[in-house]
Homo-oligomer: A and B are copies of this chain.
Amino acid sequence: MGALAVGASWGMDASRSHPADAADKDAIDLTTQYPFYDQAEPAGIRTPPQRYSIFMTFDLVDGSLRTDLQSLLARWTAASAQLMRAEPIGQVQPSSDAGVGQDTGEALGLDAASLTVTIGLGPSIFDDRFGLADKRPALLRRLPKLPSDNLTPETSDGDLSVQVCADDPQVCYHAIRNLARMARDTVQTRWTVMGFGRASAGKGQQTPRNLFGFKDGTRNISTGADFDKYVWLKDADWMTGGTYQVVRKIEMNIETWDADRVSDQEHIFGRGKTHGEPLSGSVEHDTPRFAAKGKDGEAIIAPTSHIALAAHENNGGIKILRRGYNYTDGINEFGQLDAGLLFVCYQNDPAHFVQLQRKLGAADLLNEYVKHVGSGLFAIPPSPKTGHYIGEQLFT
């Protein structure tokens, strides 16, 4: 397979909205590139989820100045654009002595592999440390305490977030490594999660599975109208065209889950495990009928099932764009695979996530098997124009 035009790869065929099971899974085109500058929306959000992701947050070191933040955002912008073009960052010297210049080199010769870099601004940079209080995005506050929160500071929050996603893990690692490296005079790393096996589907992709073995994201936002209505910010001053990113590190007790009967698991999710159909229907994309009752007079889809609690029909029409990844942190203290979901969602009002999680955290049958250990909220500025940089409007 040779080089294809940008955007012409698998997963971008807008004519298929509900692909057959076998539609998108048999090949990955590593030559796909996404543009960084001059886009209607920032990269890495509507982009069909790549197979690998590294999420990292950073804190500016004590004593950092406003100009340090400004300079970092400018340098990250330039580097992100280069990385997404599969170019080594920094200056590449012609002499063999200088070699690859500032770039660490491990992605030399690799294609872009659909790399996207998505940079977020945390609430804490607007706490007047940098004289930016008047530029605070209107809805950017730390998330309130939510039911079932079990958060640790070590895996929560941050002044800045960076989400890199790619179809080649080495490309992904190279990007975050070099972005972290070029920033180390200005920031300290705070927490990171390495995700795999995208846990959401973009347009034209089949619905992937979470580590509970269930299809996840069947009813995710997919239409342009829904993106406009629920994801992108309108009339939001310098944030217009941007969005808000919520990140939750959710540990999953997969050992307990695996010991549960599949029929119980299906009751908890409200869907069949093998095919993902709502329990009130027969195929995955059947619209769930939450009012349907069985012969016993009970709701076929339990009102406290995951899909019932999360459904827009039961939440005043609210939708969020989920774009998470599975993760594993190796073997835990009990000798079992430590695994979970890096839940990432995008919405034009963080209160939408809060409303959903208040319900889920209080009543979801799934709570017995999950633990929210990390959390963060970040503002994602719009895609910068060529010659400009992310968040430039903060400093004008």
Q: Which residues of A contact B (CB under 8 A)?
A: 1-3, 21, 25-31, 51-52, 56, 96-101, 103-111, 167-170, 173, 176-177, 180-181, 188-189, 191-192, 194, 196-197, 206, 208-214, 254-255, 258, 262-263, 265-266, 272-274, 326, 328-331, 335-337, 339
* Bound: A166/B194 CA distance, A: 17
Q: Tell me if B100 and A262 are in contact (CB < 8 A).
A: yes
**Which residues of chain B are within 8 angstroms of A173 by Cβ–Cβ distance?**
196-197, 211, 326, 328, 339
Q: Tell me if B110 and A25 are in contact (CB < 8 A).
A: yes
User: Which partner residue on chain B sits nearest A1 by CB separation?
Assistant: B27
Q: Tell me if A111 and B272 are in contact (CB < 8 A).
A: no
* Bound: A213/B192 CA distance, A: 22
Q: Tell me if B26 and A2 are in contact (CB < 8 A).
A: yes
Q: Tell me if B189 and A170 are in contact (CB < 8 A).
A: no
* Bound: A52/B336 CA distance, A: 20
Q: Tell me if B210 and A272 are in contact (CB < 8 A).
A: no
Q: Tell me if A194 and B328 are in contact (CB < 8 A).
A: yes
Q: Tell me if A330 and B331 are in contact (CB < 8 A).
A: no
How many identical chains are in the complex? 2
* Bound: A266/B206 CA distance, A: 45
* Bound: A135/B97 CA distance, A: 54
* Bound: A265/B99 CA distance, A: 10
**Which residues of chain B are within 8 angstroms of A273 by Cβ–Cβ distance?**
99-100, 105
Among B52, B104, B209, B213, the residue within 8 A (CB) of A258 is: B104
User: Which partner residue on chain B sits nearest A272 by CB separation?
Assistant: B96
* Bound: A98/B328 CA distance, A: 27
* Bound: A176/B211 CA distance, A: 13
A177 to chain B, nearest CB (A): 6
Among B28, B266, B274, B331, the residue within 8 A (CB) of A189 is: B331
A291 to chain B, nearest CB (A): 22
Q: Tell me if A25 and B111 are in contact (CB < 8 A).
A: yes
Among B188, B191, B266, B336, the residue within 8 A (CB) of A99 is: B266
User: Which partner residue on chain B sits nearest A259 by CB separation?
Assistant: B181
A47 to chain B, nearest CB (A): 18
15 sample A-B contacts, Cβ–Cβ < 8 Å, listed by A number: A21-B109, A27-B27, A27-B28, A27-B30, A98-B262, A98-B263, A106-B197, A170-B196, A173-B197, A173-B326, A173-B328, A173-B339, A176-B337, A188-B335, A189-B336
A193 to chain B, nearest CB (A): 8
Q: Tell me if A106 and B169 are in contact (CB < 8 A).
A: no
**Which residues of chain B are within 8 angstroms of A28 by Cβ–Cβ distance?**
27-28, 30, 167
User: Which partner residue on chain B sits nearest A208 by CB separation?
Assistant: B170
A239 to chain B, nearest CB (A): 29
Interface centre among A101, A104, A106, A335 (most CB of B within 10 A): A106
* Bound: A324/B272 CA distance, A: 39
A112 to chain B, nearest CB (A): 11
**Which residues of chain B are within 8 angstroms of A110 by Cβ–Cβ distance?**
25
**Which residues of chain B are within 8 angstroms of A188 by Cβ–Cβ distance?**
335
**Which residues of chain B are within 8 angstroms of A181 by Cβ–Cβ distance?**
255, 258
**Which residues of chain B are within 8 angstroms of A335 by Cβ–Cβ distance?**
188-189
* Bound: A214/B108 CA distance, A: 9
Q: Tell me if A107 and B328 are in contact (CB < 8 A).
A: no
**Which residues of chain B are within 8 angstroms of A258 by Cβ–Cβ distance?**
104, 181
